[in-house]
Structure 1
Amino acid sequence: MTDEASSQKDASALPAGSLHRAVILLNAIAADSRRGSTMTKLVARTSLPRPTIHRVLNQLMSIGWVERDETNGRFNLGFDLAALGYSAMSRHPIERVAHTELSQLSMSLYQTVYLGVRSGLDMVCIGRYDSGSQIQVGKGWVGMRGPFGMTPACLGMFACMPRDEVDGIVRKNLSRYHRIEGFDEAGYRRSLTASAEAGVGLYDNILLDRTTCGLGVAILDPSGYPIAGIGTVYINGWLDENQRRDCLERMQQVAGTIAEKLHATSA
C-alpha cells in the first residue's frame, strides 16, 4: 500500500463527526502520558458519554493513534501518533536548535532545565536537561502535558504576553489549576503579578509544597512574542539574591542565543 493510500485509509477510519471528540480524548490521554488513562478518568475529564468514548477510542485504536495496555486496561497514545509528532517537531526544530545551549546551561547552573511550548491552553515539555548534580529538583519529563500557566517556563512566557491574553488563559484554565493538589490561587496571582513586573517568570508560593521555587524566561520571535519557555526549579535557600539574579541573566542570554539561531534557521 502506498503512503498516500495509507493516509486515505487512516483518514476514512475516523468520521468527520467524531473529529472534535477524538481531539478531546487525545488531549485527555496525553495528560496521563506516563501512566495511561482509565475509562473512568476519561469520562470525568472529558464529560463525554461512556458509549461515545468507547466508540471513538475504538476508531483511534484502529488507526494506531491509541493503544490499550492489556495488563491494566489503561489507554495510552499510540506509536503511530508519536511518529506524526516527531514529523511535526522536525519542521519546528526548537528542541534541536536549543539542545546544546540548554544542556550547557544546566551544567553551568548545576540545576535541571526544562524547555516547554504552548499548545492551545496546554503546555508541553519538549526538553529536559539534567546537570551533574546528584540532587535532581523537578518532576517534569519530556512529553508531559498540563494546563498552560503552571510551570516556571509558562510564567516566563506570560511575562512577555499581553496582559489581556494572559488573563484570558488564566480564566479558562483556573478550574484545571484548582484540580492540582495543593494549588494556592492567592500565591499564584502574586507570582503572576511579580512575573509581569519583572519580565521573567518568578515561580513562588504556587503549590502547597513550599520547599521549591523556580525561574522562567521566554524565547521570543522577531516581534517579541514568546514561542517557547525555559524554566528551572531549585530548593528554597539554595540561591541568594545575587545567585538568583545571575541565574536569570544566564537563562536570558541562552534564550536570546536560541532565538537568534531559530531566526537564522527560518530565514
Structure 2
Amino acid sequence: MTQERTTSQEKQGAAASLLNGFAVLEALATSSRPQLGVTEISAIVDLHKSTVSRMLTGLAEAGYVERDESTGRYRLGLGMIGLAGPLLAELDIRRVAAPYLEELTDTTGETSAIAIWNGAEGVVVEQYASPHQVKHSASIGTRYHRFASSSVRVFLATLPDEEVERLLSPDGSIQFDGSLEEARAALAEVREAGVAINDGGTTVEEYGVSAPVHDYRGEIAGCLTASAPRTRVQHLGTQEKLMEAVLETAAMITARLGGREGARG
C-alpha cells in the first residue's frame, strides 16, 4: 500500500512539474519584454525562485529557453521551433492550399484534398468535395496507410530507402503485400513522373492522382490529391486531364509557399 501511495505521489509530482514548466514557457512567450529574469518569472508563475531556476536550467539544456550570459535573463530558445514547426506547417499549408483546392475541384469536377505526413501515414488536413452526387470523399482527418494509395506513395518516394524499408516491414505502419523490390520500382516511377496514380488499387471504384507540394527548403510539405469514382474517369477518359490539373495545381501551391521542387522529386 505504501509503495502504491509513493508511486501515485510521484506521478502527481511529475504532472505538477510538467504544468509548471509550461507556465514558465508561457510566461516567456507572452511577455512584452524580450527577456525575463528568474525573479520576474517567479512572480508571474507564482513559484519559488529556486524552483523556477531549476526549471530554466533544464529547459535551457533541452534548448527550449536560452540564457543571455551578459544579463542572466532568459528568452525562448530555438528548440521551441521544433515543437511548433509541424503544427505551423499544417496550418500554413491548409490556409495556402484552400483556394487552390476549390479551383482544382471547379476545373475537374472531382474531390481535391491536401494531406501531410505524420511520420507513419498520410493525414488529410483540408479537402474540397466534388459537386457530383456520386463522388469520392476524403474528410479532414482521414488517414492513408496503404501502399496502393497514391498519396502514400508520393510521401514514401521522398524518404530514404532504409526508412521506406522500415515502414513496409511487417511491424511498419504501411500496408503492402508485395516485395521490397516491387515497392522500390514503384517509388522510382513516382520520383521520375512527379506524380502517383491509384487506378483501383485501394478499392475497385477509386481513382486518384497525387503530386507533392514542396516548401522553401525543397522538402515535401504536403501531397495534393484529386480523387474520383473510377467508372466516371474511365467513361469520360479524363485520366490525362486529372493528372495535368493536379501537377499544375501542386506547382502553384508550391510557388505560393515559396517552395521549389525537391531533390528527390
State the partner residue of 1:30.
Answer: none
Compute the displacement of 1:143 (Å).
1.7
Q: How does 1:1-267 map to 2 (within 5 A)?
A: 9=16, 11-12=18-19, 88-89=87-88, 92-138=91-137, 140-147=138-145, 149=147, 151-159=149-157, 161=158, 165-166=160-161, 168-175=163-170, 184-185=177-178, 189=183, 191-204=186-199, 206-207=201-202, 209-239=203-233, 243-263=238-258
Compute the displacement of 1:170 (Å).
4.6
Compute the displacement of 1:11 (Å).
2.5
Compute the displacement of 1:222 (Å).
3.6
8 A contact 1:184–1:205 mirrored in 2: no
Separation in structure 2 between the aligned mates of residue 205 and residue 192 of structure 1, nearest angstrom: 18
Alignment RMSD (CA, Å): 3.8
Identify if the C-alpha distance between structure 1 residues 175 and 141 changes in structure 2 by more than 3 Å, giving closer, same or farther.
farther
Gaps of 5+ in 1: 1-7, 15-83
State the partner residue of 1:74.
Answer: none
Compute the displacement of 1:134 (Å).
1.0
Gaps of 5+ in 2: 1-14, 22-82, 260-265
Summarize deviations over 1:86-142 as a string: whole Å, max 9, x none: x9348841101110111121122111111101112232210121021111214x321
Compute the displacement of 1:228 (Å).
0.5
Identify if the C-alpha distance between structure 1 residues 146 and 251 changes in structure 2 by more than 3 Å, giving closer, same or farther.
closer
8 A contact 1:115–1:153 mirrored in 2: no
- The aligned amino acid for 1:185 is G
Compute the displacement of 1:215 (Å).
0.9
Aligned partner of residue 228 in structure 1, secondary structure: strand
- The aligned amino acid for 2:145 is P
Compute the displacement of 1:150 (Å).
5.5
Aligned partner of residue 263 in structure 1, secondary structure: coil
Identity of aligned residues (%): 18
State the partner residue of 1:51.
Answer: none
8 A contact 2:124–2:143 mirrored in 1: yes
Aligned partner of residue 141 in structure 1, secondary structure: coil
8 A contact 1:121–1:169 mirrored in 2: no
Larger radius of gyration between Structure 1 and Structure 2: 2
Equivalenced residue count is: 180
Please, which moves more after superposition, 124-133 or 223-232? 223-232
Separation in structure 1 between the aligned mates of residue 172 and residue 110 of structure 2, nearest angstrom: 26
Separation in structure 1 between the aligned mates of residue 91 and residue 226 of structure 2, nearest angstrom: 23
Separation in structure 2 between the aligned mates of residue 148 and residue 167 of structure 1, nearest angstrom: 18
Summarize deviations over 1:52-99 as a string: whole Å, max 9, x none: xxxxxxxxxxxxxxxxxxxxxxxxxxxxxxxx99x9348841101110
Aligned partner of residue 257 in structure 2, secondary structure: helix
Structure 1 segments of 4 or more deviating over 6 A? 176-179
Q: TM-score when scaled to structure 2?
A: 0.55
Summarize deviations over 1:174-231 as a string: whole Å, max 9, x none: 4367986xx6436x83754542342211224533x32222110010124433110011
Aligned partner of residue 258 in structure 2, secondary structure: helix
Aligned partner of residue 113 in structure 1, secondary structure: strand
